[in-house]
Amino acid sequence: MNSLRNRIAILLVFAIVTVVGLATLAASTALRGPLPEATMEPVARQLQLVARIVEANPSQAVTAGFTVRQAPATGAPEETLSRFLQRALSLTGPARSAIVTRTEERPGITASVELRSGSWLVADIPDFSPRPGRWHILAAWVVLIIFGSAAVSIFAASKITKPLRLLESAVAAVGPDGVLPHIPEMGSGEVRATARTLNRLSARLKAAMESRMRLVAAAGHDLRTPMTRMRLRTEFLPEDAERQKWLNDLEELDRIADSAIGLVREEVGHNHIKSTRVDKVIEEIVEELASLDMKVEARALKPVSVAAGPIALKRALRNLIINGATHGNGAEIAMEQRSNMAVVTIADNGPGIPPEMLDRVFEPFFRADISRRKVIPGAGLGLAIAKEIVERFGGTITIANRMPRGLLQTVSLRTVIAISK
């Protein structure tokens, strides 16, 4: 009920029903027949004339076709019409008793007027009352208006909100690279204009992202030349603490340049996606990092395969495990299968991240503690690269603080098939 389409449909239904209802009321008022008060006086005047003729010469009146009975006509009495007729008779002549009845055997109504002799003059009079079953006709008319207006309103609301649905579907179809898919430019003028605008926006976004990637790659590449000259000049410095500081700074710049170029390659590259054993990838990473004296440990890993590029997936998981090993005093890796998802968790016992900074952990070059940059090497791009890779393969990655201390990194990827050893 909160959607714009439903609101427009309800508004249109209300507007149509209101307009048709007022038009029906106006038409029925304009075409309504005369009221009984207005028609009874001419009828009463004629009945008074006939009554005087019958009273003056009863036998001749019967011969002329007038009906005279000893009792009023049988049938269901119409009290309101009887009251109107008696009043009209009193206004057009001597007051007389009158009874109006209605019978099912014959259409119309019958008036019985009492004569001075005690007999009754019986005559048919015009029936200006509404036809029977009028309420059923009115109910059918109202139902037809409601259902007809509802159908028209829903159709009109769907047409009106179609550009909005097009926007919604386009935003939902945005890929991990942030580019909108091409939208067919067809349909009404408004829909075509919306699709055309979205396609232009997609093209501009793609061009802007490619330009950004080229800029980052060029910056990382161009840094290598001055860094090489600086490293050569440093080699001629005396062996002291100042020379080592220069070399450390150059190594950090080199890591930043390599990470920037690697980020560009991961974002614009398209690795071949195939069934990849996550447990095997984790075991290779743990073996590699353990040989570098990093404190990493993997629990019993179940054999699970996911649809991903093996090289890119290894890079993403390696970045996360290194993050836990270097910043969290060691990393403990575990994996389990939940429904059709492979969930990899990387837990550490480090200081964690301040809660107000958790939303920024995937930003490029983010460092929770700037003062630790000199102690722990890194460019701050590992998490950004890992997030880009995981999301490219349709997965998710989250980072949360553990209690009482530490960090928990969770990667979820859709499984292809579970393999039993």
Determine the pLDDT at residue 397: 93
Cα dist. 235→224, 230, 242 in Å? 16, 9, 12
The mean pLDDT value for 279-293 works out to 89
Cα dist. 244→97, 231, 348 in Å? 131, 11, 31
**Residues contacting 265, CB < 8 A, separation 6+:** none
- The more confident residue out of 72 and 103 is 72
Q: CB 280: neighbour CB atoms within 10 A?
A: 15
Does residue 419 have a pLDDT over 70?
A: no
- The more confident residue out of 63 and 83 is 83
Determine the pLDDT at residue 421: 44
Q: What is the DSSP string of 170-230?
A: HHHT--TTSPPPP----SSHHHHHHHHHHHHHHHHHHHHHHHHHHHHHHHHHHTHHHHHHH
Q: Which two tokens stand for residue 10?
A: 């309800």
The mean pLDDT value for 214-234 works out to 73
pLDDT digits (tens, 9 = 90+) for 148-174: 888 888 888 887 777 777 777 777 776
What are the residue ranges of helices labelled H in 69-188? 79-92, 134-160, 162-172
Which helix (H) or strand (E) element contains residue 368?
A: none
Which helix (H) or strand (E) element contains residue 350?
A: none
| Least confident range of 222-236, 321-335, 361-375 | 361-375
- The more confident residue out of 256 and 247 is 247
pLDDT digits (tens, 9 = 90+) for 84-105: 888 888 888 888 899 989 876 6
Q: What is the DSSP string of 291-328?
A: HTT--EEE-PPP-EEEEE-HHHHHHHHHHHHHHHHHHT
Nearest in space to 318 (alpha carbons), one of 294, 352, 342: 294
Contact 176, 196 (CB under 8 A): no
Determine the pLDDT at residue 247: 78
Question: Could you give the CA distance from residue 327 to residue 295 in angstroms, rounded to a whole number?
Answer: 11
- The more confident residue out of 417 and 335 is 335
Does residue 177 have a pLDDT over 70?
A: no
Cα dist. 215→14, 87, 263 in Å? 57, 102, 12
What is this structure's pTM?
0.46
pLDDT digits (tens, 9 = 90+) for 339-358: 889 999 999 988 888 888 88
Determine the pLDDT at residue 230: 81
Contact 201, 259 (CB under 8 A): no
- For the chain, the domains span 4-32+133-159, 36-125, 161-221, 271-418
The band of 374, judged by pLDDT with boundaries at 50, 70 and 90, is very low
Contact 7, 161 (CB under 8 A): no
The band of 420, judged by pLDDT with boundaries at 50, 70 and 90, is very low
Secondary structure string (H, E, C) spanning 30-67: HCCCCCHHHHHHHHHHHHHHHHHHHHHCHHHHHHCCCE
Read off φ and ψ for residue 298, nearest 5 degrees.
-115, 130
- Tell me yes or no: is domain 271-418 CATH 3.30.565.10: yes
The mean pLDDT value for 247-252 works out to 76
Contact 57, 117 (CB under 8 A): no
Determine the pLDDT at residue 270: 53
Does residue 253 have a pLDDT over 90?
A: no
Nearest in space to 421 (alpha carbons), one of 300, 326, 295, 328: 300
Contact 383, 362 (CB under 8 A): yes
Contact 311, 271 (CB under 8 A): yes
Does residue 176 have a pLDDT over 60?
A: no
What amino acid is encoded at 25 in this protein? L
The mean pLDDT value for 376-401 works out to 80
What amino acid is encoded at 337 in this protein? Q
